[in-house]
Structure 1
Amino acid sequence: MNHFSKVILLLVTGLSVACGKTETESSLPQKGAAIPVEVISLQPGSFSSEITASGTFTTKDETLLSFKIGGVISKILVNEGDAVKAGQVLATLDLTEIQAGLTQAKLAYEKALRDQQRVERLFKDSVATLEQLENSKTGLDIAAQQVKTAEFNLNYSQIRASKSGFVLRKFANAGQLIASGAPVLQVNGAQDDNWILQATVTDQQLNQLSLGDSATIYPATSETGVSGTLIRKSQAADTQTGTYWIEVSPISKNGLKLAAGMFGKVTLSPSAQKDGWQIPYQALLDAQGDTGYVFVTADGKTCKKIQIKLGNISQNTVQVISGLEGYTQLIVTGSAYLADGSTIEIKNK
């Protein structure tokens, strides 16, 4: 490369560097100069924040079924997952001992009846005393009640479905010795189509919700949501998690394929309105949790950095619950170059 070419190359390189530096420096505010910004007017209003929660589906009528008395299980006629109808026999005990107890009670009643009749005749002949007559009547009444008890136990030596639904769990098998009241089967009333989604929310979210608020439920088995209604909410926090449960009922259950314990999500729309502001997302600085910062101006010449409390944050806007009281102009562009108290020049007057 000759000397002339080297000179030309150095000149071109120098011009490129100079041009790049000028372009970069020209885009930055000069020290001490007013920083150009754009502002919008702050208009307070009312809005509601959607609440998202998750939980599991249940029918709220899951029941543990057991025998009233203990004994040896003769038959269990259903398995887990089977559909059952109200009144259907699900399991029975071996009736040998129970029927023997009923027969014994009936024989005791017959004997007490004969004794009472004999004492009554003797009392008429002044042979038996009044006390003996009353005791015989009492013995007869006791024997009658023992028969009723044995008949009741025989009747409850079978387990019947309390309502139409499904068998959720099976805790015992035929031939097993079972104690009185020990669970044998767990069933629900799912065939009555009374599914609900039980979800958990925070204390702040609970205070925003009211019974009857509309909701959209997203079951794990469906890609689309179904409409629902908030029907119940707890009045005490869970001692372990500190959260509160709510129950949401689907309005239309057609086509839903649900099972007890299935996961689901819900988006609730509180009817209670909040007072606050909706501001552009680009105006928000240093957001963390439910707090953030913005720049405002009161005189149009200087800015002030203030802390705000946030509601929902969407793609384009942010809900501000508090912090903007008393301010009318919010800075939305130019915030990257600002510090608290910086001199500004409003460009969109």
Structure 2
Amino acid sequence: MKPAILLLTLTAAAGSCHNNKPAAEKTTGRDTIPVQVMSLEKADSRQDIFASGQFTTDDETSLGFKNGGVINRIYVKEGDAVSKGQLIATLHLAEVNAQAEQATLGLQKAERDYARASSLYKDSVATLEQMQNAKTALDVARQQLSAVKFNQSYSEIKAPANGYVLRKFANEGQVVGPGTPVVMVNGGRQGEWLLKAGVSDRQWAAIQPGDKAYIETDALPGQRLPATVSKKSEGVDATSGTFIIQLKLQQKPHAIASGLFGKATITPSQAVNAWVIPYDALLDGDQNEGYVFVTNDNKTAEKVKVSLGGIANNKVFVTGGLDSVKALIISGNAYLNDHSPIVIQNNTARP
């Protein structure tokens, strides 16, 4: 009996070992992820910056009334041509005219008072102080009438030059404050054409006046309009929350209207010192940062955070986070976790 029992025990143990071996091999095969890697080298590169905006001219002007009031008439519509000095809009003048009449009457009274005081002073009836006070009152009345007449002249809007009405911001009967824009006009293609575009803070820092660019628009399919960065804002635009840059077109286009949208491709003159990696190697990326998998021992994957300088043409410009890294994992990273075991299938030198 004992030899039989011993034989059965050894047989069971052998079977158990035989069954456990494939399981261990299966586990190892599941946990080890095949990947491809590339070596890393930091170099100076120029990354194109893409921005979109609207066409405009450098002689666009918003016109409004110096004084607030109720708009009486607006004589133009959007798109109308205007000539220099043409009347564009007027305010209801009842209040201003009443002020002018009051100032006129005040001046007349001041003139009479001064004449009377001067006559009495000559007759030694009025004192010198009384005559001087009358003269001061006369001067004040004259200035008040001059100010009212000035306000009367600015209770209407006239075209400053030949051009076109681009936009109308108000309507007849509307109450507007002093300086509130009522219409916007331009110089009728006499000025330089611009594209005003919004960029991020990182892009703003990379762009310099004089940088070359080209602009594309749906109004001119298949054409690239050469341009140059002419100006960049020194503060954030309160409306859009971006920094505004101006690109001046090198030639005057014939089929462009103010307000049309355009897409600009800007080539910065300043080179960026960065690692260039494939877009597929980036995980969970946003505008400024993201994550990649790297390896330093060719056996284990490590997830590291990187700083981004931009993305263009399926390439990512990494400005920080890859120092002292030996290799970047560029394939198979979708199946990796931090510290996953890996096996390298082949090396890739460039993105």
TM value normalised by structure 1: 0.66
Contact 2:236 2:242 in 1 (8 A): yes
Question: How far does residue 131 in structure 1 lie from its aligned partner after superposition?
Answer: 3.0
> Is 1:113 aligned with 2:114?
no
Does 2:232 align with 1:235?
no
Aligned partner letter, 1:232: K
Percentage of matched positions with identical amino acids: 33
2:87 paired residue among 81, 86, 89: 89
Q: How many Å separate the matches in 1 of 2:271 and 2:181?
A: 50
**Farther-moved stretch of structure 1 (191-200 vs 141-150):** 191-200
Work out whether residues 36 and 347 of structure 1, in 8 Å CA contact, stay in contact via their aligned partners in 2.
no
Change (3 A) 1:76 1:208: closer
Structure 2: 5+ residue stretches without partners: 1-28
User: Closer, same or farther in 2 for the Cα pair 1:229/1:121, shift >3 Å?
Assistant: same
CA distance in structure 2 between the aligned counterparts of 1:335 and 1:343, rounded to whole angstroms: 12
Deviations 1:221-252 (A, max 9, x none): 222232223311343475x97x5222122232
Match of 2:235, SS state, is: coil
Helix, strand or coil: the match of 2:146?
Answer: helix
* AA at the equivalent of 1:186: V
State the 1:188 CA deviation.
3.2
- 2:203 is equivalent to residue 205 of structure 1: yes
CA RMSD in angstroms, aligned pairs only:
4.5
8 Å CA contact retained: 2:88, 2:158: yes
Amino acid paired to 1:68:
N
Structure 1 distance, partners of 2:224, 2:202, is: 25
CA distance in 2, matches of 1:58, 1:323: 41
> The residue matched to 2:204 in structure 1 has which SS?
helix
The answer on 1:185 being equivalent to 2:182 is yes
Residues 91-113 of structure 1 show CA distances to partners (whole Å, capped at 9, x for unaligned) of 23566775675456445434432
Structure 2 distance, partners of 1:334, 1:103, is 86
Tell me, yes or no, if structure 1 residue 214 matches structure 2 residue 215: no
Residues 1:143 and 1:205: Cα distance change in structure 2 (over 3 Å): closer
2: distance between equivalents of 1:38 and 1:69? 70
1:342 corresponding residue in structure 2: 343
The one-letter amino acid of 1:181's match is P
Q: What is the aligned counterpart of 1:56 among 54, 57, 61?
A: 54
User: In the TM superposition, what is the alpha-carbon distance from 1:169 to its structure 2 partner?
Assistant: 0.7
Once the two structures are superposed, residues 43-95 of structure 1 have per-residue CA deviations (whole angstroms, 9 ceiling, x without a partner) of: 4321022221223344575424126364672x432222213344332123566
- Check whether the contact 1:297–1:304 (CA below 8 A) recurs between aligned residues: yes
Equivalent residue for 1:13? none
Alignment check: 8 A CA contact 1:72 1:94 kept = yes
TM superposition score normalised by structure 2 = 0.66
1:156 to 151, 154, 157: 154
What displacement does 1:163 show?
Answer: 4.7
* Structure 1, 118-127 or 185-194: larger mean CA deviation: 185-194
Alpha-carbon distance between aligned partners in 1 of 2:169 and 2:89, rounded to the nearest angstrom: 11
Matched, 1:124 2:125: no
Which amino acid counterpart does residue 113 of structure 2 have in structure 1? D
Contact kept, 8 Å, 2:81 with 2:164, in 1: the verdict is yes
Letter in 2 for 1:109: L
CA shift at 1:153, angstroms?
A: 2.9
CA distance in 2 between partners of 1:157 and 1:102 (Å):
13
Kept in 2, the 8 Å contact 1:208–1:272? The answer is yes
| Paired AA for residue 48 in structure 1 | R
2:252 match: secondary structure? coil
Q: Distance in 2 between matches of 1:334 and 1:93?
A: 71
CA contact (8 A) 2:34 2:343 kept: no
SS at match of 1:137: helix
CA distance in 1, matches of 2:176, 2:103: 22
Aligned residue for 1:68, secondary structure, equals: coil
Structure 1 345/166 Cα, relative in aligned 2: closer, same or farther at 3 Å? closer
Corresponding residue for residue 267 of structure 2: 269
Classify the secondary structure of the residue corresponding to 1:205. helix
* Ranges in structure 1 where 5+ consecutive residues have no aligned partner: 1-30
Displacement of 1:318:
5.4
Amino acid in the other structure paired with 2:274: G
